[in-house]
């Protein structure tokens, strides 16, 4: 196994972090221990590239795992779209920063989920985890992304 610095781009690679900026990879793929840690629902940091500034933008957010499918969402807001969603729409390359079971940064490709049929089961899972009953509101107004991370054997979807 080789330790290598993962990066969104050269700007994000140089972003100061309160935890390790190294990820265990093998041939450019995320190792099994890192994938296991990734597939635990948890609070993470997510770095996107600012759509106007080009500078790294980091937020703290919850990463969900539902039957091996990972997704990132947020609380519903009808009045505006979150900046991190706009940033991902402009540049889908992101970095997932695990910080609980291990401190590791994992590069990924994000996709904003807009299809209501695709959104509903993920929002239902998030609502259940958060003890919310406003699933319809969440489906309509919560941000939702899917991430793809390359593991040692296959593409893993992180939503």
Counting DSSP H helices and E strands in the chain, the numbers are: 5, 10
Task: Give bridge partners of residue 146 from the DSSP assignment.
Answer: 71, 111
pTM over 0.85: no
CATH superfamily of the 2-158 domain: Electron Transport, Fmn-binding Protein; Chain A (2.30.110.10)
The confidence score (pLDDT) of residue 37 equals: 78
Question: Can you read off the two tokens belonging to residue 77?
Answer: 């807001």
Q: List the domain boundaries for the chain.
A: 2-158
- Residue ranges in the chain whose pLDDT is less than 50: 1-27, 152-159
The confidence score (pLDDT) of residue 36 equals: 77
Rounded Cα distance, 156 and 139, in Å: 23
The confidence score (pLDDT) of residue 7 equals: 34
The confidence score (pLDDT) of residue 29 equals: 61
């Amino acid at each position: 196994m080789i330790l290598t610095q993962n990066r969104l781009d050269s700007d994000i690679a140089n972003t100061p972090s309160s935890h390790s900026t190294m990820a265990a990879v093998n041939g450019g793929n995320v190792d099994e221990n890192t994938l296991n840690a990734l597939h635990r629902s948890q609070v993470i940091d997510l770095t996107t590239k600012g759509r106007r500034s080009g500078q790294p933008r980091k937020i703290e957010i919850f990463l969900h795992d539902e039957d091996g499918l990972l997704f990132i969402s947020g609380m519903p807001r009808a009045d505006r779209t979150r900046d991190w969603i706009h940033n991902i729409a402009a540049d889908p390359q992101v970095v997932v920063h695990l910080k609980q079971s291990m401190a590791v940064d994992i590069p990924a490709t994000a996709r904003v989920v807009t299809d209501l049929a695709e959104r509903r089961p993920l929002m239902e899972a998030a609502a259940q985890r958060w003890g919310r009953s406003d699933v319809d509101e969440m489906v309509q107004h919560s941000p939702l992304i899917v991430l793809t991370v390359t593991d040692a054997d296959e593409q893993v979807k992180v939503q």
